[in-house]
Amino acid sequence: MSLKERFSANLKGVRHRVGISQQELALMTEMHRTEISYLENAKRMPRLDTLVKLTSALECRADELVEGLAWKPNLAAYGSWEVGDAE
């Protein structure tokens, strides 16, 4: 599973839990519905300002949207991303 896929699963899960449509989320965040679709279908990663809009609109914490994603630093070489399985 990639970073985008994990974020996508997290976002979609929280939106479904809240019980709103992509269109409603788009209106609440002043984003286009297709952008929400791109995020939920792992076609894009959000910028920081987008993450803040999403957490505010969904009334969730940022850690819920990035759950399962972690940076693993390595001083001897390049760091790497760790991606857990979606629940």
Alpha carbons 61 and 39: distance in angstroms, whole number: 17
Alpha carbons 39 and 4: distance in angstroms, whole number: 8
Could you tell me the mean pLDDT of each successive run of 10 residues in the chain, 87 residues long?
95 98 98 98 96 97 95 79 79
Domains of the chain, each with CATH number or no CATH: 3-83 (1.10.260.40)
Report pLDDT for 87.
66
Say if residues 48 and 15 touch (Cβ distance below 8 Å): no
Report pLDDT for 24.
98
Q: Copy the structure tokens of residue 76.
A: 């001897």
pLDDT tens for 12-35 read 999 999 999 999 999 999 999 999
